[in-house]
Amino acid sequence: MPETNPEPLPPSLADRVSDAGLRLLLGIGRRLPYRWRVPLTGWLAARLVAPLAGWPRRIRENLAHVWPDLPEAELRRMLVAVPDNIGRTVAELYSGREFVDRVRPIPLEGPGAATLEAARAESRPVVLVTGHFGNYDVARAALIAKGFRVGGLYKHMKNALFDAHYIRAISTLGEPLFPRGAKGLSGMVRFLRTGGMLGIVVDQHMMHGLPLRFFGQTAMTATSAADLALKYDALLVPIYGIRQPDGLTFRILVEAPIAPGTPEEMTQALNDSLEAQVRAHPEQWFWVHRRWKGPGGKKGWRAIVGARR
């Protein structure tokens, strides 16, 4: 079942400084048209935020761990392209209705597209699973805009100041949202039982998860999505918002539902699905996460805004 989702801690001085910097960056961006705002924020994230946050080192360490034969030229490209995608994603999530209007007309592609339409017609619950890849909220925002009942499961951020306005931002893209853990569990279960679709992001280290494989290495992975699908007879469907070469538009790929099995088997299938997408578009995954840690490993990498692991 979903892991605990502790409330944010009182903000420290570092939290206040980082939040003020982020607000300044977003404030500058909001004064620009969307088509300039998104690439500018990506550029600033790659050239200013990433070096200050230590992202190049984390990207290098992760790639050396799971992709040691990656050519040096491609590695250098990733050191810029990964934070650029992160910055673009932040700008998009904070663009509210502008972002929703852009993703609304995107068609659903892939073998699972018809499955989602049928599930909506039958009011069958669906657990939609993605990773921190492309823009992870494209599919949720687009489906809600198309009339699907889609809720989202989220984790609080360590930085309480950032957490508050981040939740407001993603709420603008669509609701309901359910906090991970006991606080949001009852509402989430009611939503699924009434035929809702629940979006979950499952590619972060979970200390109490299972030691599954991701890029050929052990990665502690939560089985929450599979557990929910099995318990509530929901379809388990991988879905991705894949950024296109222009940096502003997306494809929404809906894969076929994961076949029922054990939670371990189903969750490994989710890891395999995401890995295939990351191998096809490596710059679109958040390589700044400490994804490959053991059950008793060190505390995770802290982003500028300090997401809990």
The tens digit of pLDDT for each residue in 269-298 reads 999 999 999 999 999 999 999 999 865 444
Pull the structure tokens for residue 153: 């499961």
The amino acid sitting at 252 is I
**Does the residue 5 lie in any domain?**
no
Pull the structure tokens for residue 175: 């609701």
Instruction: Show the domain range for 130.
Output: 13-284
pLDDT in tens, 222-260: 999 999 999 999 999 999 999 999 999 999 999 999 999
CA-CA distance, 288 to 303, in Å (whole number)?
8
**Does the residue 169 lie in any domain?**
yes
**Does the residue 305 lie in any domain?**
no
Q: What is the pLDDT of the chain when averaged over all its residues?
A: 87
**Does the residue 1 lie in any domain?**
no
CA-CA distance, 63 to 79, in Å (whole number)?
10
Taking 70 as the threshold, does the pLDDT of residue 309 lie above it? no
Nearest to 2 by CA among 283, 272, 278, 231: 231
**Does the residue 292 lie in any domain?**
no
The amino acid sitting at 60 is R
Nearest to 285 by CA among 83, 113, 27: 83
**Does the residue 295 lie in any domain?**
no
What confidence score (pLDDT) does residue 58 get? 95
Region of poorest pLDDT, from 37-51, 55-69, 254-268: 37-51
Q: Determine which helix (DSSP H) or strand (DSSP E) holds 199, and give its type and residue range.
A: strand 197-201
Taking 60 as the threshold, does the pLDDT of residue 187 lie above it? yes
What confidence score (pLDDT) does residue 30 get? 75
Q: Determine which helix (DSSP H) or strand (DSSP E) holds 177, and give its type and residue range.
A: strand 177-179
207 vs 35 pLDDT, higher one: 35
**Does the residue 302 lie in any domain?**
no
Longest CA–CA span in the chain (Å) reads 51
Total domain count for the chain? 1
187 vs 283 pLDDT, higher one: 283
Task: Over range 62-74, report the average pLDDT.
Answer: 96
**pLDDT class for 302, splitting at 50, 70, 90?**
very low
- In three-state secondary structure terms, 100 is helix
**Does the residue 60 lie in any domain?**
yes
What confidence score (pLDDT) does residue 270 get? 98
